[in-house]
Structure 1
Amino acid sequence: MIDEKEHGDVMEIDKELMTKIYDLRRRLHSIPEASMHEMQTKAVLMSFLRENTDLEIVDRGAWFYAVLKSSDDRIGDEERTPIAFRADMDAVCGQDGKPGHYCGHDGHSSILCGAAAWLSRASQNQIINRGVYFIFQPGEEIGAGARLCRDLIIEKNIGEIYGLHNIPGYPRNHVLTIDGTFACASTGLEIHMIGTASHAAYPEAGKNPGPALARLLLEIEELTEEYNRSRGFVRMTLIGMDIGNANYGVAASEGTLRMTVRAEREKVFAGYVDEIKQIAQNTADDGGFTLDIQEIERFPATENHAVNVDKLRKCAADQNIVVTELAEPMRWSEDFGYYLQETKGAFFGVGDGEDHAQLHTAGFEFPDEIIETAVKMFVGLALM
């Protein structure tokens, strides 16, 4: 239950509730599900909320949200528009194709359930004077889930939204903040060129895309260097290149160049990707190749709003939680950026510990010790 103290004091959380949250996290860890297939996970989360809160729960098929109605008539005022919090539900698929909670989404969903239960109890004492939405999102790992859920922001006139990620390599229970971009924009690019086959003895009779794709890779590297000099951080990582096959009597006639590209800012990223596509088209046209370009798992930049980052800092200070300012954005991507295109808000991290196993590795498991800190941050933001 909420312990109502003077502003600035640390709020104490009910130990029985914390035990339930820990148990929920371990239950979720045992049933990992791939992106857009989180039906058992979703059922467990909805059941927890029904048993431990009096919130309205709205099922939207692949995802759901819970809502705590305002106890204050001022809900229509600009300053008291609803607030939202988001957690992701999906697991990571390893090299064997099997899902596992190697990123901590089991912890994120448990944290959001904990905040919902805590605030539900607080509302019985009429502490809450604004609507609060708890969004349980699928498909974050593939950049698909937030696009499904973000219409709720406009539909419910949500004025601000927050999300978090646990992050290894930083002191445990430190809140990690940054002005501007928290996580970079990214997408996979698959550039496929088709020419014409020929006998290996007469390569001039065909069109082999190998040299064209090699030149294209070098041009993209030059473009990347130019962007970094003049427009801010971008990065291209070569994932692979496939040309022809193992038939030594036939010259290659098809080839695919695969890369991941990323950037700190969304506008820069959009221009960077467009220029890569244009260079690829020019290269294909010059060589007489058919071109096909596919984007794989595009993520927007997660660009925080300054006023909401300041709220994060104040919320942490009010509860004696240490804040660590990040020196630069995370290079990985997070689809929370789609929400920040619709309303104000901020994304933050909670440190897992300096020596904690890295995300997306088989040795990773979410540290339960950071759950209470994360719950307090969500609750504190809702009460501000």
Structure 2
Amino acid sequence: MLTNSDIAELTEFRRALHKRPELSGEEVETAAAIVEALKPLNPDRVLKGLGGHGVAAVFDSGVEGPTVLFRAELDALPIQEISDNPWKSEIDGKGHLCGHDGHMTMLLALGRQIAREPVAKGRVVLMFQPAEEDGSGAKAVVADPAYQEIAADWAFAIHIEPGRPFGYVSTKTGLVNCASQGLKINLTGKTAHAADPEDGVSPAQAVAALVPALDGLGQGGRLDDDFRLVTITHAQIGAPTFGVAPGEAVIYATLRTAQDSAMDQIDQDARALAMAEAEKHGLDVSFEVFDAFAASINDPEATEIAVGAMTAIDVESGDYGLPMRASEDFGVFGWGAKAAMLCLGPGDDYAALHNPDYDFPDDLIPVGGAIFERITRDLLGRAER
């Protein structure tokens, strides 16, 4: 159990993290702060540089048993924070506006409890993962050879999720977060004088055709296995000038599906449309992929363990608001482990994630720590003194 002193110290640490946000792939200072905070807990191993700047603390009982991993994220967002809090971001254009500072702190809360009362069997891994916001971090961690030494049998994560009562947890078996990826379509023709557009090769007509065609590949609707959604987020033809007929264009499309396998198909469909229009209008076409997220699919057994743990400590849970269209790269840990994502409510009227006035509510630190601790005990027990 966390003491009042623990909660005060953890709150101070969370606010210190909040002041110094770092973007995906840049989490040097944040990782160093985590390593320093872990030292008093004396984990059996601390792995650094996992998948970039990832940090993993391992508490090993020395007795055969499963490896249970709990994940938090290191990175922040490229958004200017608007706040009067004394712990607001000190870095222009960057802010912990998705709760990752709180998620890290909840893992440290668990670490304090495990350090005082070790588990009876197996291992606990506190995974501080880099680069969640661009979808690259979990894949890089799991692909890192060092991860194989601590590969999880069970994996759990908590993400704060506004729109739910304080302390309420949304979770369910099956789909929780959709797969998504950003597809950039580059169309290249030839510029010409605006007085003689026939001398060039303009992508304008191709873009005019592609925007509704891409949109037609996925209209959203019910979040079942057939769910597909394409959102055009940006399109640009040529330069903002009146004297030049355009020779280049770009389209950004976010593709979203309920299953990873369906993402492969919608990606192929989108590329086929673009290639057909490019050929029709005499254009070259190329593609780039950004922010590729796997779907987060909760394992039935892991979900049952989590729900049972929350019931035991009187934390209300249900499936409110699930599944979600938004993406989360935690699902990658579920490729090799029984995994469950838990969505923790900060209060019904709390600021939305990614808003410039968002801040993690510190009163949730002991709630998340208690949930993680009970899951740990239910799976690994408590060592005899």
Matched, 1:88 2:73: yes
Q: Pick from 220, 228, 232 the counterpart of residue 226 of structure 2.
A: 232
- 1:112 aligns with 107
Query: Hey, what's the Cα distance between the residues in 2 that align with 1:201 and 1:268?
Result: 46
Count of aligned positions: 364
My pick for the range that moved more, 209-218 or 53-62, is 53-62
- 1:64 aligns with 55
Moved over 6 A (4+): 226-230
Shift of 1:148: 2.0
My pick for the range that moved more, 57-66 or 351-360, is 57-66
Q: Check whether the contact 2:220–2:229 (CA below 8 A) recurs between aligned residues.
A: no
The alignment yields a C-alpha RMSD, in angstroms, of: 2.1
Query: Hey, what's the Cα distance between the residues in 2 that align with 1:231 and 1:101?
Result: 33
Matched, 1:46 2:31: no
My pick for the range that moved more, 296-305 or 201-210, is 201-210
Equivalent residue letter for 1:100 = G
- 1:180 aligns with 174
What TM-score do you get using the length of structure 1 for normalisation? Answer: 0.89
Q: Check whether the contact 2:113–2:373 (CA below 8 A) recurs between aligned residues.
A: yes
Identical pairs, percent: 28
Three-state SS of the structure 1 residue aligned to 2:342 is strand
- 1:214 aligns with 208
Equivalent residue letter for 1:49 = L
Q: Check whether the contact 1:153–1:342 (CA below 8 A) recurs between aligned residues.
A: no
- 2:138 aligns with 146
| Unmatched 5+ stretches in structure 2 | 82-91, 379-385
Shift of 1:227: 9.3
Shift of 1:177: 0.4
Equivalent residue letter for 1:51 = P
Shift of 1:54: 4.2
- 1:6 aligns with none
Q: Check whether the contact 1:53–1:116 (CA below 8 A) recurs between aligned residues.
A: no
Three-state SS of the structure 2 residue aligned to 1:223 is coil
- 2:351 aligns with 357
- 2:123 aligns with 131
Q: Deviations over 1:252-274 (max 9, x none)?
A: 11111112221222222221122
Equivalent residue letter for 1:48 = A
Query: Hey, what's the Cα distance between the residues in 2 that align with 1:230 and 1:44?
Result: 41
- 1:368 aligns with 362
Shift of 1:363: 1.0
Give the alignment of 1:1-384 within 5 angstroms: 12-60=1-49, 62-72=53-63, 75=64, 80-94=65-79, 98-123=93-118, 127-151=119-143, 154-225=148-219, 232-384=226-378
Shift of 1:95: 5.7
Three-state SS of the structure 1 residue aligned to 2:101 is helix
> Quick one: structure 1 residues 225 and 56, their matched pair in 2 at CA, closer, same or farther if it must change by over 3 Å?
closer
Q: Check whether the contact 2:170–2:322 (CA below 8 A) recurs between aligned residues.
A: no
Three-state SS of the structure 1 residue aligned to 2:277 is helix
Shift of 1:229: 11
Query: Hey, what's the Cα distance between the residues in 2 that align with 1:69 and 1:144?
Result: 28
| Unmatched 5+ stretches in structure 1 | 1-11
Three-state SS of the structure 1 residue aligned to 2:354 is coil
Query: Hey, what's the Cα distance between the residues in 1 that align with 2:279 and 2:338?
Result: 43
Shift of 1:168: 1.0
Three-state SS of the structure 2 residue aligned to 1:336 is helix
Shift of 1:62: 1.4
Shift of 1:332: 1.5
Query: Hey, what's the Cα distance between the residues in 2 that align with 1:234 and 1:226?
Result: 5
Q: Check whether the contact 1:198–1:206 (CA below 8 A) recurs between aligned residues.
A: yes
